[in-house]
Structure 1
Amino acid sequence: MSDANVEKLYTLQGMWCTSCALAVEGSLKRLEGVREVSVHYPSATLCISGTPAVTQLSNLAAKVKRLGYRLTELEPVADAHARLEEESRYLTLRLMVGSLFGMWTMLASLLIYAGALPSVQIEQVVAWVSGAFSLPVVLFAGVPFYRAGWRTLLAKRPGMDVLVSLGVIGAVMVSIWLLWRGSVEVYFDTAVMLIVLLLVGRLVETLCRHRGLKALDALALPDDNVTVWQGERWLSLPAEEVAKGVRIKLAPGGLVALDGTLEAPGWIDTASLTGESVPRHFQAGQTIYAGCRYLGTTPIVMQVSAGVGQRRLDRLCDEMRRYQAKKGELQKLADRFAAWLSPLALGLALLTLPTALLFGLGWEDALVRALSVLVVACPCAVGLAVPLASLAGSGQAMQQGIALRDPAALETLARIRSVALDKTGTLTIGSHTVLHWAAREGVDEPTLQRKLWAAVAGSEHPLAQALANWSGSQSDRRPEPYLQVTNTPGEGRRVQLKSGEWLTVGRAAWLASQQIALPAQAEDAALAFASQVMIADEAGWLATLYLIDQPVKDAEPSVKHLLASGYVIAMISGDRQGAVSWLGERVGLGREACYAQRSPEAKARLLQGLPSPALYVGDGLNDTLSLAAADVGIAPLSASEAAREGAAAQLMTPGIGGVVKLLGIAQRTRRIMVQNLFFSALYNTLALGLVVVMAIPPLIAVLAMAASSLTVTFNAARLAWAEPDYEGSLNEES
């Protein structure tokens, strides 16, 4: 972006559907000085770039207000939840009114259609009753459709709401005119059915939008108090009240709530933000960030460098919303079809009325035929084509152990060109195991395991726990009681057993500082990629152990299958280069496809450079930005809450084999989507042509709409009935 352009995020309120988002986009794109506009309907976020003058809120708000919407500063996540709750209640009330009164309208119409009434006079009364019961539905429940239709017309981007509104208003007006002329062939039920069915769809859609905000909720830290040095004493205050420059105390094992610099060395678990598999030892003066965890044994003091709202975690949240808005709503084929169908149907309806009169038809027949054009054109089948296929694909994915949070993501998954994978916890099991060990002459494995177990038992360090698992795996022995334990965070520990024996375990440099002689063969350069731990007893160096985070069982066959299928594969990690390269070699990735020591922001930027659409698979808090930046994000079984909420899909079984299965399901689902859209488009095209040349009552038009909807429904059901053809793909690779 050039220096002359700025990019801003705002909240767009009052949207009713994706057509509203497209209408605002189209209107703002016409402003001079605007470079790019994107509206993300699920989160109601508008992202706009352009000159500083044109992107000012005051200028944009005036333009948006003329369309009937309201533009505000970017709302907090809590306010977004409240807004969606209000929208849900708004829709629920209208659906209740529509269902209650619509039921009686439909019943009255059915009695007339079935000829179940004894006389014409009673039929006339029942017809008026049908119209009376439809009024609350039309005048109250259907108002959102009329409003959205009018706004999209003002923006010159008419969508489905325009057709629905025209169909409803046309059905009511023709019915009232027929009643006035004494006819009982009314069409209030047509208007009611259109409103109620579409209200159900909009309510479900609104409830699903709540889930999109949970990813942002997961980035928020708990509302715990922090211990602050104030007034020559330590006080407990809420984190949001702590300003920059204040000194706070970190408790052992506690979550860091604010960004700051340490006043003393400390052992910090940074995995949530960096993805590093091993905690790091920070020196005094180094910066640590909110979301990390302090692993020391005694309290430590740090000076706050960024308060709530300015922390790195808060910036990640803002970046996540920015990526969401930039992606925009999927431009479904159905929306594009409805965009040209609306003006076409209106034009045909207006043309049908005078044409019918010219051919000698009466006003009643001419109006009914024009109404039939509008009803036939209402794209119910078009609206069902993609969601039904998505629902069927989601069901098949669930059978394969994949939970889809956003069924619409299947459409994008079918077009994926590149797949980016996180390392720790995604391609690896997320915990270290002993890869190799070398001991001094005369020391066998049982002896090493016994002494190692005694040295590390009870330690909370991740590597110590991995060593304890390995050394204690051969028996259920209890650790020998300690006389003395000395822990040096980030370096190692010395223990004196009850027998009087001293054992030292930790980093090589630290053991050397303890005056322990290390032989030249103590380190193996070929294993430099692994985490190295040494142990010594009173006789000196005892052994060197090499630990590595092992790949998940299906990592290699899954990666090879994806490569063979033509996808561009990359592994992006915050871990060390050596460990990343070793894992890449194990799973079949070249060194050029393995990117190490990448921050969350760098991960997202790198992901943007991959061929699009791109898929990202990640499990940690540090992956949430990449999950948002990707076209589709997937969280593995062991993913953190933040990653699960930010991903479109979650694997419910260990490993990454589910990614291969999901891509196969998505490709089959997209084929069904295209077929459904073809069937529904063919129906609308043929039906519009037929209704223009011959008389089709609106009731028959409604039945034809139902038939077209059943066609796409049964076609989508084939996804659930068919056996998956990708079951054996991973087994063949392995």
Structure 2
Amino acid sequence: MWCTSCALAIEGVLTRLPGVVDASVHYPTATVWVKGAPNAVELTALAPVVKRLGYRLSELEAVENAHERLELESRYLTLRLLVGAVFGMWTMLASLLIYVGALPNASIEQVVAWISGAFSMPVVLYSGLPFYRAGWRTLLAKRPGMDVLVSLGVISAVIVSIGLLWRGSAEVYFDTAVMLIVLLLAGRLVETLCRHRGLKALDALALPNVMISAWQKGVWVLLPVNEVAEGMRIKLTPGELVALDGILDAPGWIDTASLTGESLPRHFNAGQKVYAGYRYLGATPLVMQVTAEVGKRRLDRLRDEMRRYQAQKGELQKLADRFAAWLSPLALLLSLVTLFGALLFGVGWENALVRALSVLVVACPCAVGLAVPLASLAGSGQAMQQGIVLRDPAALETLARIRSVVLDKTGTLTTGSHAVLHWQARDGIDENTLQHKLTSAVSGSEHPLAQALARWSGGQDQQRSPLKIGVEEFPGEGRRVRLTSGEWLMVGSASWLSRQHIIVPSQAEDAALSFASQVMLADESGWLATLYLTDQPVDDAEPSVKHLLASGYLVAMISGDRQGAVSWLGERVGLPREACYAQRSPEAKARLLQALPSPTLFVGDGLNDTLSLAAADVGIAPLSASEPAREGASAQLMTPGISGVVKLLSIAKRTRRIMGQNLFFSALYNTLALGVVVIMAIPPLIAVIAMAISSLSVTLNTARLAWSELDQ
């Protein structure tokens, strides 16, 4: 496929097949999504139908192949545009000399007219070829689009011009044909480059091709990850990214944030399952047995689901397709009515053909084509000034109609790191004494909560950390430290301290802080202190959420974290408890998101959010987002916090108003121009100038968006 017209042609044929309920062709990934009876959607049933149109249908294309295909299409379009620009320049120059009367006599005008035609031939025969091919295929599929209009306009302009030259007239229309081809080729090239960039979201879900240490024939050997099969045993080194799904042979600390969104690493026991994308945080190598090889991992399934979401079209695209479906037949009908009507009223063949050509040129919806992209570009420029990067300017259309705003928790509404929220200690222990003892207990620990305690107590300063003669670790529970002074300290969970025969007083159990992570400290005298830690909300979380609620949006928070932490954060930022959803997997997040009133907006920062970013109508990644989340989102915030979401929604509403006005102006132009050109004779050049004036009105109206102030 070379353009979206090809995709529409295939889609039109497939939707008419018996047993097929719905079909959607996604051009960037060359993917067709078909819904229907099992025998109707098999490759053997669909491929012959598509082949008759001149295309080839095969198994699902790899993302790497889609990149290569779009690279080729970009070079293909660039070459044709270059030919069109170089030769078209001379065509336009020759035509201009004739139009302004700069030539001394009719004989020289005739020669220059032939030169104009000669220079237009490479443009018409080479640069315009894709339009003719796509137009023919869409006609075969009974889904004619703009390519049909462009093809007929170009061919008619050339035929009429050659006829005029043959009769000795210098009033030719080769420049009309050239202008149509070059302008539309430029638009197709920009569209292809934008679609190419959109594929990066799928790239980000692919783990790197690394070498894996695998147990084979009694020895550990390094194998490419693609060669590691299900059932093999592999070794994980400290800090290594888990590349395959598997079951652990021994316990260890695992960072699961990439897929679950949990703010803290988890301690996995032997026999528990881990997934590709997790990261091993232990201090010694760990062995696991592979349960899913490359292509069958949970991450691979997420990637396939993301492609499925992309292949289905949104309402705006469907409206655009319906618009194209009736515009081209109407323009063709009016052109034929003009031709035969002029002949009936005694107009000669030459003038009748020129009138029909003018109708085709006027009917080409150039202003309609500019109405939305220009406003999107102006809106994205204003968003950039507010610290928001729009990777897909077309998303502004959907953002203006958003009904549901869904926020991730960790890293989106929160800073992503824990801090001490509250502490209480036994009588006689002040803050300085507590911090000194805490420094001794937690320094050197790799546990995230211990590191947060070290930051609060100053334990990251090695000079403040007393010498220890012994450290005994209890993974997932606590640690015992013996100092050179002979003193010992214990830090860990309340249940672990109880098993160590430490009496925890009831006043240390604070029910109001049950949402927070609780850590206790004890010494030789017993319980010493209880500290409560939590992931703190970003500074602008509360005012932003309240502004969204006041604006009428349905606002929800969906997280993989535990219920207590999610409920507490929801209360802090102003969300009701029923709008806070906890312990949701990536798949459950996407399903819940789709159940909310649409269009939906999702804001998330992790690898576990990529499926939700694809399932939502629009996805936004905050400043601290991971690479996969940034690539999967339509927009990215370049400033801390989520206030950029509020600003972007305001910009989108104003942009959509401009889009509506532009569409009204362009529709008014088409209606009036078509009416005038049917009634009276208008040269094709005047029709082209009228198109330019219409485009200029759209451009000036769009400029108001950049001049106006952002609503506060």
Matched, 1:66 2:45: no
The one of 286, 290, 294 equivalent to 1:300 is 286
Matched, 1:418 2:404: yes
Q: Structure 2: where are the runs of 5+ without partners?
A: none
After TM superposition, give the deviation of residue 39 of structure 1 in Å.
2.1
Matched, 1:461 2:447: yes
Native 8 Å contact 2:77 2:185 kept in 1:
yes
Alignment correspondent of 2:82: 96
Q: Which amino acid aligns with 2:707?
A: W
The one of 580, 591, 610 equivalent to 1:605 is 591
Q: Deviations for 1:186-241, whole angstroms, at most 9, x for unmatched residues?
A: 11111111111111111111111122111111111122111111111111111111
After TM superposition, give the deviation of residue 491 of structure 1 in Å.
2.3
Native 8 Å contact 1:38 1:328 kept in 2:
no
- Greater shift in the superposed pair: 349-358 or 381-390: 349-358
Native 8 Å contact 2:442 2:459 kept in 1:
no
Q: Which amino acid aligns with 2:386?
A: Q
* Aligned 1:334-413 pairs, distance under 5 A: 335-413=321-399
Alignment correspondent of 2:560: 574
* Aligned 1:620-631 pairs, distance under 5 A: 620-631=606-617
Q: Which amino acid aligns with 1:100?
A: V
CA distance in 2, matches of 1:341, 1:261: 59
CA distance in 2, matches of 1:222, 1:504: 41
Q: Deviations for 1:664-703, whole angstroms, at most 9, x for unmatched residues?
A: 1111111111111111111111101101111111111111
Native 8 Å contact 1:268 1:292 kept in 2:
yes
Native 8 Å contact 1:573 1:598 kept in 2:
yes
Native 8 Å contact 2:366 2:691 kept in 1:
yes
Alignment correspondent of 2:604: 618
Native 8 Å contact 2:439 2:459 kept in 1:
no
Alignment correspondent of 1:520: 506
Native 8 Å contact 1:268 1:279 kept in 2:
yes
Matched, 1:273 2:259: yes
Native 8 Å contact 1:39 1:328 kept in 2:
no
Q: Which amino acid aligns with 1:423?
A: K
* Aligned 1:241-280 pairs, distance under 5 A: 241-280=227-266
- Greater shift in the superposed pair: 153-162 or 615-624: 153-162
Normalised to the residue count of structure 1, the TM-score between the two structures is: 0.94
Matched, 1:470 2:451: no
The one of 303, 311, 314 equivalent to 1:325 is 311
Q: Which amino acid aligns with 2:704?
A: R
The one of 101, 109, 115 equivalent to 2:101 is 115
Q: Secondary structure at the match of 2:250?
A: coil
Alignment length, in residue pairs?
A: 712
Q: Secondary structure at the match of 1:52?
A: coil
CA distance in 2, matches of 1:399, 1:453: 45
Q: Secondary structure at the match of 1:638?
A: coil
* Aligned 1:636-715 pairs, distance under 5 A: 636-715=622-701
Alignment correspondent of 2:549: 563
Native 8 Å contact 1:672 1:715 kept in 2:
yes
CA distance in 1, matches of 2:344, 2:458: 95
Q: Deviations for 1:391-428, whole angstroms, at most 9, x for unmatched residues?
A: 11111111111110000011111111111111111111
After TM superposition, give the deviation of residue 43 of structure 1 in Å.
2.7
Alignment correspondent of 1:633: 619
CA distance in 2, matches of 1:584, 1:174: 70
Native 8 Å contact 1:41 1:329 kept in 2:
no
Q: Deviations for 1:305-357, whole angstroms, at most 9, x for unmatched residues?
A: 10111110111101111111124584275554343221111111112122222
After TM superposition, give the deviation of residue 254 of structure 1 in Å.
1.0
CA distance in 1, matches of 2:24, 2:621: 26
Alignment correspondent of 1:162: 148
Q: Which amino acid aligns with 2:278?
A: C
Q: Secondary structure at the match of 1:443?
A: coil
Q: Which amino acid aligns with 1:643?
A: A
Q: Secondary structure at the match of 1:67?
A: coil
Q: Deviations for 1:90-114, whole angstroms, at most 9, x for unmatched residues?
A: 1111111111111111111111112
Matched, 1:87 2:73: yes
- Greater shift in the superposed pair: 599-608 or 349-358: 349-358
Native 8 Å contact 1:334 1:383 kept in 2:
no
After TM superposition, give the deviation of residue 545 of structure 1 in Å.
0.7
Normalised to the residue count of structure 2, the TM-score between the two structures is: 0.97
Native 8 Å contact 1:334 1:386 kept in 2:
no
CA distance in 2, matches of 1:15, 1:128: 32
Native 8 Å contact 2:20 2:36 kept in 1:
yes
After TM superposition, give the deviation of residue 143 of structure 1 in Å.
0.9
Native 8 Å contact 2:30 2:61 kept in 1:
no
Q: Deviations for 1:591-650, whole angstroms, at most 9, x for unmatched residues?
A: 111111000000001111001111111110000000001111111111110000000011
Alignment correspondent of 1:16: 3
- % identical aligned pairs: 79
Q: Deviations for 1:355-411, whole angstroms, at most 9, x for unmatched residues?
A: 222222222222111111111111111111110011111111111111100000111
User: Taking structure 1 as reference, are residues 512 and 583 closer, same or farther at Cα in structure 2, changes over 3 Å only?
Assistant: same
Native 8 Å contact 1:248 1:301 kept in 2:
yes
CA distance in 1, matches of 2:670, 2:149: 13
CA distance in 1, matches of 2:497, 2:280: 24
Alignment correspondent of 1:716: 702
The one of 191, 207, 213 equivalent to 2:199 is 213
Q: Secondary structure at the match of 1:392?
A: helix
CA distance in 2, matches of 1:41, 1:704: 33
Native 8 Å contact 2:443 2:459 kept in 1:
no
* Aligned 1:174-185 pairs, distance under 5 A: 174-185=160-171
The one of 480, 483, 506 equivalent to 2:492 is 506
Alignment correspondent of 2:478: 492
Q: Structure 1: where are the runs of 5+ without partners?
A: 1-13, 728-734
Alignment correspondent of 2:117: 131
Q: What root-mean-square deviation, in Å, do the aligned CA atoms of Structure 1 and Structure 2 show?
A: 1.7
Alignment correspondent of 1:732: none
